[in-house]
């Protein structure tokens, strides 16, 4: 039997990239996967990258999984509430929430000068606002709405995607502060959720071969990179762990989890775990 058969999961921001990879892995593991995203028509994304929520659904189904797409802008509370209302109406519960949605990257691949500014005082204020509004706050709102559903059964889990820049002081004030806020938010959530047997963790990927990364592949060393599904396999491993509460409140690294749980990337390789000094 598939390890997550009968489980209900939500992955936010799954039109492409890491979110899509997580949805694929969860579906392959037997979970009923709900995904959210803004892009429903190819070529219409704010980031100018390929991928839609409907394409993600099709790929999950090809792997033998079940997937439901909900168009949702996580900066609009009413749309987020509607998404959770639908999950509640159709399932009366939720087992796994993956907070993947994040703002601030909208101009990363459209030719706009991005992250080459010399000093935080030259960075557009809109980038700070996007990372907190469509990142930290969006993950908080999803978690708030998810908890009543997660309480309906034991061993529920909230996973929030974060990154090593939370532990650095030289990767941009807005970026570093937002990721550090996410990690601390998860730790505080874990403290309050412990009595309800709901785990909350931060999950760090390495260098992931997302659509945006592959557009710049010729400038990057991808020898230790990870597929988006590799992060998904980390999510599956965590969601299958009957002792997951022992990890609640912690920052976890996907490649270290691969060594612990014994899974590999889709090419059979096991990427080397990165540290904050590597990024």
Q: Which residues are catalytic?
A: 175
Alpha helices in 115-215 (DSSP H): 125-131, 137-150, 173-193, 211-215
For residue 161, what are the β-bridge partners?
A: 203
Give me the half-sphere count of Cα atoms (radius 13 Å) on the Cβ side of residue 103.
21
Those residues whose C-beta lies under 8 Å from the C-beta of residue 184, and which sit 6 or more positions away, are none
3-state secondary structure of 124: coil
Chain centroid offset of residue 277 CA: 22
**Helix H or strand E encompassing 261:** helix 254-261
Instruction: Tell me the CA distances in angstroms from 181 to 94, 139, 159, 187, 208, one per residue in order.
Output: 25, 11, 15, 10, 22
Cα 264 from Cα 87, distance rounded (Å): 31
134 close to 102: Cβ distance less than 8 angstroms: yes
Angle subtended at Cα 130 by Cα 204 and Cα 191, rounded to the nearest 5 degrees: 45
């Amino acid at each position: 039997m598939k390890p997550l058969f009968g489980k209900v999961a939500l992955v936010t921001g799954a039109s492409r990239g890491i979110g899509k990879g997580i949805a694929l892995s969860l579906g392959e593991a037997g979970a009923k996967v709900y995904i959210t995203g803004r892009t429903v028509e190819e070529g219409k994304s704010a980031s100018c990258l390929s991928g839609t929520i409907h394409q993600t659904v099709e790929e999950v189904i090809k792997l033998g999984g079940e997937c439901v797409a909900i168009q949702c802008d996580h900066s609009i509370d009413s749309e987020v509430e509607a998404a959770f209302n639908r999950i509640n109406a159709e399932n009366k519960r939720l087992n796994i929430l993956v907070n993947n949605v994040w703002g601030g990257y909208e101009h990363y691949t459209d030719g706009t000068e991005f992250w080459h500014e010399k000093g935080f005082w030259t960075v557009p204020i809109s980038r700070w606002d996007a990372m907190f509004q469509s990142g930290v706050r969006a993950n908080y709102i999803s978690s708030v709405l998810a908890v009543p559903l997660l309480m309906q059964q034991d061993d529920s889990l909230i996973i929030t995607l974060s990154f090593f820049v939370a532990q650095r002081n030289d990767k941009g004030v807005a970026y570093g502060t937002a990721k550090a806020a996410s990690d601390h938010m998860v730790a505080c959530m874990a403290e309050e959720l412990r009595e309800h047997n709901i785990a909350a963790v931060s999950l760090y990927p390495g260098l992931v071969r997302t659509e945006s990364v592959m557009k710049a592949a010729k400038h990057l060393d991808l020898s230790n990179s990870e597929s988006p599904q590799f992060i998904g396999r980390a999510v599956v491993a965590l969601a299958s762990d009957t002792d997951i509460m022992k990890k609640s409140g912690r920052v976890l690294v996907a490649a270290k989890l691969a060594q612990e749980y014994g899974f590999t990337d889709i090419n059979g390789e096991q990427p080397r775990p990165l540290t904050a000094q590597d990024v």
